[in-house]
Structures are given as structure tokens and as C-alpha cells.
Amino acid sequence: MSSTTPPAPTGSLHEAASPVAEAAPGEQRRAFWAVFLGWIVDSFDFNILAFILIDIQQSFTVDRALAGALGTVTLVMRLVGGTVAGTAADRWGRKLPLILSVLWFSLFAFLSGFSTSYAMLFALRALFGLGMGGEWSAGMALVLEHTPARRRGLVSGLMLGGWYWGYLLAATVFQFVYPLFAHLPDLAWRVMLWSAILPALFTLWIRRNVKESPVWLARQRTLRESGAAARPAGLSLMRIFQRDLLWTTVHTTLVIGSFMCIYYSVNFWYPTFLRDAGRPTLPYLAAFNVGAIAGTALWGLLSEGRLGRRGAATVTMLLGIASLPLYLHATDPWLLAAGALCMGFFGMGIWGMAPAYSNERFPTEVRGVGVGFCYHAAAAIGALMPYLLGTLQDRGFALADAMSAAMVVAGLMAMVIWLGPETRGREFTP
């Protein structure tokens, strides 16, 4: 049971032969910032929902299970959007699906603020999930195919940090904008969603300044020179289920699925946990997300060393579980803040190697759809967590206890990473 792409040697001669060497440093930086900023606004648009669940419950008179289902449906629909965008990225390049995805999720996040019923909001959040899924599939392939193998772990960690920057931005907007409308609770949560339209303007910069992936372009040249026609749209999806890639697809989905369960078990309901306790959300969320930004970068970097992708994921997961007593069960505000910092740094640090690991599992011909399908099938697995934790609360479980148990189970699931190969150091070839 191993990936079909064997580790490739690193070094100057090998790297000079890589299509990545064709990309100038300026092109690499622009690709990084395009995807990084896109990931920030993607995160902002999704995570703003976590701060207004109580308001939505009151506006539409729904229980916590249905409130949690708004997060679940978004995560499930990401699978459809990620698969479609990934297939398009393999067929027509990484850049166009990225632009369309950012436009799509910005639009439907904005429209969610006009919902007149729970059913309408549910449908619009499902449509939002389509664009959210596409941003990852096209964007991560674009930036990592611009990145030399020796720096891929660090860039992977920095890239994932964008998600926590987006969460921190959502927390800041909630802290300073929401109170301006707090006297009109049915309006306040809508304003939070309407703010999501602004990132759509960012696509104009992407269109003008970011180059297509050098690895994807090199593959197109290879196909033309060999006289082979590019694969028709849709075929790359079928390819990842053929015998030689089937285990890679299944295993990568299970690995990232366990990461998703870790994230959503301790994150989605965390603002509600704080609000229920009468605590301000911003200080604790700032500690959590600052820890996560630093943790994903550091653990992504460490995954380039002796630990590798698998060892780094294991160590940070164990330390994340050890942070639970401070994160959810401390009563002193300073200890609770320290727990938030530790959970961000260790519990979320496991994500630092996720983009590199998943992209390294697939060959260039199916990297877009392979990564897109696995990541978002994994998100569909993780999508059970918001609903499950909401249901447990409705049945009388304390939120902190439910979150802790879910984190431990998800962490043990992450050990499935050892059933697959180490991927550190693999080159992307046409």
C-alpha cells in the first residue's frame, strides 16, 4: 500500500530540471500571496458563521442541531465544488478555477445575509460550499507547483496559517462591527455575512498578476510534443479511482478526514462555548489563532526534517490532546487563554503539513482533482462534528466534555497516516 509516485532525490541538478525552476522568484511570491489571501477570505466567509449561531437560532427559532447543520451542509457541498474545480484545474489550468471559486463563495456568502427563512439560509450556505471547495483544489496546486520541494513544507504551513488569519479577522469584525448593530439582533448577523462580498474584488488582482502553474504548463508542452491530446474534462476524476491510485485516494481522504475531525471538534462551537460562559470571544480566539499561525508554520517546517510529514503530524496531535484540560476545562482566564494558545499551536499544528502531504500523493495529471476530492471528502467526514456536537448538547452533554471526547477520538484516527508512505522531498514532474 504505497503511493505510485516514489520519492525523488533533491539537489541542485534535480531541481534545475524541475519545471518549478522556470518560475521566477517574483512569480512564486505572487502565486503565494494570491492563494494565501484567497484562503484568508475563504476562512473569513466560513468562520463568521460560528460567531452568529446564537443569533440565527433566535431569528429562525431552531435548535442547536439545526444551527450546527449550517456548518455541516457547507462542508459536504465542498466535496462537489472541490471535485468540479479540481477536474477543471487539471484540464484548463489552476488559475481560472481559483478566480471563479473566489467570486462564487463571496457572492453566496453575501446573499446568505438576505435569508428570510432557515431553509433559504441552508440552501445558500450549501451553494457557498461549492465555491469554498474550489478555492482549495485549484489554489493549493497553483502555489505548491510554484514552490521548490525543499521549501514546500514551510510554504504549506504558512499557507494553512491563512485559515487562522481569516478566523482572527472574523473574530475582530465580530468584536468591533457586531456591537454597532447588537440592538437589532436580526440585522446584526446579516451585516456579518454581507461583509463577505468585499473579497470578490480581490479576483481582479489574481487575474492580472498571477502566472499559471509552471508544472501544469510543462505537462501541456509534453502532451503537445508527444502528439497526445489533453485528457477530456472529467477523466481525471475517474483516474483517481483506478487500481494504481485507488489506495492513494482512499488513504489520503482518511488522513485529512481525521485532521478535519480534530479541527471541527474543538473549533466550530468554541465561540459558543465562550459566549455561553459569558466570556469575551476576541482574547481567547486571538490566542488560539496566533498559536495556530505560528504552529502550522513551525510544524510544516519541521516536517521537512527528520520527523517527516508523518512524524510531525503525530507529535503535534499528541501535544494537542494534552492541551485539552487548559483549553476547555480551566476556570482561570489566564489559564484558559494559555490553553487556547497551546491548542492553536499544537492541536492545529497538524495542518501545517497537510497541503504539501496531499499534493505530494498525486501525479500532476490528477493533482487538482485528487487533492480536491480527498480534501473535501475529508471535509464531509469532518462535517459530522458540528451536527454531532450540537446533538449531544441538545441531549444534555456539557459542551466542553463533548468537544474533548471528540478531539481524543479524532486524534487517534490520525494514526492512519502511518499506513501510507512518507512523501517529504518528492518533486513534481510533468
- Annotated domain spans of the chain: 20-219+231-418
What per-residue string of b and e applies to 178-204 under the rule 16 or more CB within 10 Å gives b?
A: beeeeeebeebbbbbbbbbeebbebbe
CA distance 29 to 23: 10
Q: What is the arithmetic mean of pLDDT over 196-208?
A: 66
Confidence at 147, pLDDT banded by 50, 70, 90: confident
Average pLDDT of the chain is: 83
Question: Which of 256, 238, 195 is CA-nearest to residue 379?
Answer: 256
CA distance 83 to 221: 25
* Percent of the chain scoring above 90 in pLDDT: 25
What are the grid coordinates assigned to 52, written together?
452568529
| Fold (topology level) of 20-219+231-418 | Growth Hormone; Chain: A; (1.20.1250)
Q: What is the pLDDT of residues 85-129, one digit of tens each?
A: 888 888 888 888 888 888 888 889 889 999 999 999 999 999 998
Is 48 in contact with 170 (CB distance < 8 Å)?
Answer: yes
Phi-psi region of 213 (alpha: psi -120 to 50; beta: other; left: phi over 0): beta
| CA torsion through residues 328, 44, 356, 417, sign | positive
273 vs 4 pLDDT, higher one: 273
Q: What is the pLDDT of residue 299?
A: 93
Q: What is the pLDDT of residue 199?
A: 62
CA distance 152 to 356: 6
